[in-house]
Structure 1
């Protein structure tokens, strides 16, 4: 019913319908559909079938003709384009011919110039050979001079320190002051030697710049951290202003820039008795004197202006103060000390960085020294590279000795300095505060390799008014403690380079760090183990918001406590009196309970920082009291069991299962009780009275990991051997000495002599420390024997040479005893 037959006269439904395909070579080209009021006859059908064959041929012919026309049009178009390209090629060939002729001419000119250059080159080679020889002699002179000056000073400083520490207590106060003065003068002499060597290296071109992106916030933070205490001590105002229009960072050598600023700020404070010192960092607008190509051609220049309200510099003296050993006040009766090298060194370093230093000053009105440095168009930290490096290395140190410590835990990688710097930038993505910490800030150290969780801890610290610094590796922890003096540490058990348990043990066994509260964080339940090993608290991941709040409340509350309280549970009046006498003082208060009942009453009303418990009491035993303490649900309070009682296995089992208190260890002397109590109270032993401090130091020496170790000291200078032997004997270290490399090798190869570590002096006659170390590594069966190289560090690359020779670690003269001992402990804890 879908077809109707229509005409002008009417319409009707068809009675027949025929549909025929139009084929050409068995392919359908069209379809014929016919409707009729009558039936189609055989004749009609035959006719239509013949007609479809003809129509198929016609349609195919039309299609073929259409394609032919299209191809013809396309061919004509391509022919036109080809003609145009041929014309263009012809023009290009003509131009190339002209250029070829010009090149021939230029070639002839270049050949003439090459002949002139070759003659000049030969002349320069002769001069270069002379300069190389001179440079070699100067380099050797600097290295030898540094060694010769530092070696006797090394002995002087070590022995002076031993004297003023007065370990045997046989010196009076005046003699101790004498020893401290000797040590202070030695330090001053070392600084003078460093200045002279720096000046010599600048003049001879041995100093090179290590350029990297440096944030302006880091520069300002360095200045504030370094000089804020000085300004407060001298009652001077110290202001730092940073132009808001500065870029985020600039490319320069941060070490050299800090050295310049330190020299200029030191002078400003030295010559200013009242008023203020100001550091202003801003973008300079052609305010420098022309003539410096780097500055004149730079699109942007940053200025560091150090101004003061001091004595000023006379006009006639302003041209000479930048010369070596020249001072504005150079008479024999001068008021201010110094060598006059600081400004000369600063000027040389400024030129090394492509800048200059200019001075404006008037007598009695103060001075302004301005350091101008060029700034690149854009300086950005490659965040993508940082993230990739983080996944690969998971390290982020910022320490002067960090590369040697990396060797101690076997995580050194090629190009580590660059990669670790990148990771340091990555750490800053967490928002930590390492670049803007002032001396008055309270800092928490977060040891955590999960940066997302680290960021959560940082934000929580900020909520409580704390600054936070993130360390993601073991090697950073001790460097950051020394730099930022944290009030507490959160420590993750799983770190990329070591176990958190090991870090906890190192912290709790080092007198310099053991007073810092450590809060251990782990994904596994190890609460009892953590508390027994000295952690203040233990938290298990994942942490709920309430637990984090409690953690930081405890950190803040504990840091603000000006005194610590101890509950002494002891029924013997004489015994309790003696204990209270040795413990009390230096803001430590002792509350005595003669019975378990009295102790429990006090615990109900007071939260103590530590409990000392005599396990045998007249009314109840220690176990019952511990159970009652646990029932109070107070915060974990460390319990020191002070008792001569021999505990049964059952009693020890009960103590070990205690969940609210910890039996750290039984002690049986007042000295050990003092040491253990100070440890649990997190009191810095340096804040104690001198006699108590010595008691603790002596105990720690007896329990030190260095005790009983056999240390081979290789040095051709008997003064150094004597000085180090004197120090090591205090720590019960067995010292073996060798005055030459050959003697050292003989001792190490002697199976009857046990050697646990070698301190190797580098500068020795006949066989130096490099060669000796190489032979030991080749011949000695114990390839892991720690060898610490001791060098004067005169020239760049000394450290790398030591490591390549086979040294495990590296330390410089003059030796700082605390640093040396810490480094040795690191290797024995390894």
Structure 2
């Protein structure tokens, strides 16, 4: 009797070899082919998929798994191996399964061991009843095969479990995105309803909180769209770590005003002042992590520890004393979700996780229990000034080795400040504010006293005033950055600071306190410029009502240099100013700004200067500009998220003329331009009587609702539309290919993406189309999906035309 065991034996031998090697790795078998040409085509197909799929591309870059071709008997096997983790294997397998339906997972394929094919039977095996050896051989192979298949089945079961978990995560993300538009709408409605309730301080605080949420969610939607369209680029440029921290603190102080939570920055001495990394995206990550910690900590503390992690990585460790995160929530921490009361959670953390991975770093949850949560962001960096022994230098030896009495109730905050002062060889004694009794503590032996001075016992403040008459005791009041309490000037207080502090802010403080001549504070020429220039302080900034982009036409023909590293803020400034006929010149950092200013026939009328930027920050750029007599009368308006008085005063000290905060307020921007460009002030009545632009309804796009969803900012709405077109403008062709290739799971995810986004931008007709498509999945009518492709195509073409019509208005 003749039996053809050729292919069976080949596979069994391959399995036996694959499962017998020690110290091996897992692999995905993508396909088999009869010849090498077809196998190479399958391998090329895999390479194209990895190149175009964002998730696979990121994973391959991180773990460096590879595709190989093995010859097994007369067959060519295409496999992917060298996975470092089971989750990466599962994610890769799930994605590739849609392109290679017959793909399966095999355990224990050694990367360096070649399959020995010359021992494999290559011709028919003739089995006679008398040939016992042949039967034994076949039986042995069968046993090996059964064992191999058993091992394989266990691995498949593991993959199935991972597959289920991955599906759950994906489903959670899909549901979130579907509801994103509804959440934006509900926030908009809340703003409108609360705005009608009155002008009480409580209502104003709530309105400000809701508007900040709305603005943040719109920004996150733009980031989401840029991730989808693969437009985010990681750029390594040098920047000042302290300036970044001040910018982050400004954002947090606006979002958490009156918070009782103690925020602490604890920075190791060996952390460089200037680092080379991606400033824009690192800032976004840290803001989201710190905001998440603040939200989970009603009272207590949030601490940011910054230290080296090896020679080429920085660790940003955020720990809080909040309620902790449950196991289930912890597992989905970086997957956006909705709470029972309809509030969104996690979109910022999801974006942060993606950004950290793109930067070559990672977010790691170290712990979470009833005592709080600790999350670390570890990112690579370069120290461009590694040869410098001292990162922060005082101008003279007389500035160092001072004695300080620090009045601070929070032990961790006190230790962090003491560490920073220790960098300058300051001796620091710590005492709790409520325990400071002048009769016990000899204040007169110190060079400086720091703390919440205005709230000390009157006896203590009285003794401080007496001591100051006898010796030059420096007094620095420190309060929380979240405090909205205003303080009146006191003749016994030299400087006012908001905590948490950074190393550079302390360095600046020391220079200001002990520089009796004032020569070190600022360049003499710039100092003269500041004293004689046209300055407008934030408290003097008159905010006009009814200001719209049309009002900026009174500045038509002027030229403004916008120095800004954030692509979103660049677009906002451009959309507002260019609609008024203002010529906008863009610079991504201070160095580029100087280059633009010195270009022939540039003739800049005004500069809008961000402060926290890579390469050269706003402080240095303003100082450089003021050193040239050519620009002595050039108005410079600082436009930044920084809100601390010490930061704003530093802006004026180096030569800025005015300050406006972020998120950008169009009324304050108008007031600043109006103040410096010499146009007569327009009254509220004149503004309200201006001829309004005639707005026509556009079929297929409810842009009025879309603008409301973007916190009432037409400029921000335009940017969302631009990013939507780039990410999904060709999605009709994409979904057609998916349906033709039976990749219905990907088509389903695309429909869910479109549901959330079309709802947010006010494209309700397109929303109805994708909603109908999605429901076919829910009703198990997948076979009907192809019938919707033409409808989707027509709807998208109509929507693209509507968006284009709106842009031209």
TM-score range, shorter chain: 0.3 to 0.5
TM-score (norm 1): 0.35
Q: Which structure would you say has the larger Rg? A: 1
Q: Higher relative CO (CA 8 A, sep ≥ 6), structure 1 or 2?
A: 2
